Structure 1
Amino acid sequence: MISKWNILTRRKMRGVYIIAVFTTILLGLASRKFSHLLIPFIANNAGDFIWAMMVYFGFRFLFVHKGLLFAILLSFLFSFGIEFSQFYQADWMNQIRETLLGALILGKGFLTVDLIRYTAGILIAAVFDKRYSS
């Protein structure tokens, strides 16, 4: 049986995670729009790094009752799955990728370095989560 305290804690954490999702979305979009103001290393890597953080926080929001490791594993599966899906180049999929939303979610072409960026983003998000949700 779920206690009243546990339900309130889950609701509070869902609020924290949805704020984290929207914050990372805004940071990711800003990193693209204002990339010319950033040092090249950050400008080149921030978008994918922050995207992976958003994925992690999204899974924490959806599965707040599950553990940290569960969210990390789902985040890796999702992020790496999206990246490897870029090998699939059907016309209908490429038409989706040509839209702004499609490009932001699905990317355009496979890059091995994106897997490193996703790994860093997911792990940093998990470290923040562990540090500040305890």
Structure 2
Amino acid sequence: MSPVPSTSPPVRPARGRLLLPPLMLLVIALGLGSRSPTVAAHLPRFLTAYAGDTLWASMVYLCLVFAWPRLLVRRAAAWALGLSVLVELSQLVHTPWLDALRANRFAALVLGRGFLLSDLLCYAVGVALAAGMDLLARNGPPRKGVV
């Protein structure tokens, strides 16, 4: 007697949460370092201009997959990019209470201060990098001869 095939979708394996906190700390350190005048003096202008925003979006992705370890990579990427774009668009809104909140250094790191169109491209790159690394971590490197 053969087994009855299951009609329910397979359960997605959860990501290992053990590696995510150190990775998140590394991303934070790199992002803050890219904005530090001491470190920035030794980096190319391109990196100091765009690395922080790129890493910020990567951090949004990491936070999402930490909170929901079974989230599909494409959904995590879509949510991370959507949230990043919403935060950037919120920088077009200037109410007294929101500007006062953004005057706080921590809130400014999370919410930003002013809208820049180039940040949207940085967010797309940051999410793509994080999602790509997630796929590599889950599936391993591409096998030789497989496209």
TM (norm. structure 1) is 0.88
SS, match of residue 13 in structure 1: coil
Question: Which residue of structure 2 aligns with residue 26 of structure 1?
Answer: 29
Are the counterparts in 2 of residues 20 and 54 from structure 1 also a CA contact under 8 Å? Answer: no
Which position in structure 2 is the counterpart of 1:15?
18
Unaligned runs of 5+ in 1: 1-5
Q: Name the counterpart of 1:47.
A: 52
Report the equivalent of 2:105. Answer: 100
Larger proportion of helix: 1
Deviations 1:86-134 (CA, angstroms, capped at 9, x unpaired):
1110000001111111110111111110000000000011111111222
Identity within the alignment, %? 31
Per-residue deviation, residues 24-77 of structure 1 (Å, max 9, x unmatched)? 011111111111110011111100011111111111111111210111011011
Cα separation, 2, equivalents of 1:49 and 1:72: 13
Bigger CA radius of gyration: 2
Matches within 5 A, 1:78-97: 78-97=83-102
Structure 2 length normalisation: TM-score? Answer: 0.81
Select the residue among 123, 127, 132 that pairs with 2:132.
127
Deviation at 1:80, TM superposition (A): 0.3
**Superposition CA RMSD, Å:** 1.4
Q: Does 1:65 align with 2:98?
A: no
Which stretches in structure 2 are left out of the alignment for 5+ residues?
A: 1-10, 140-147
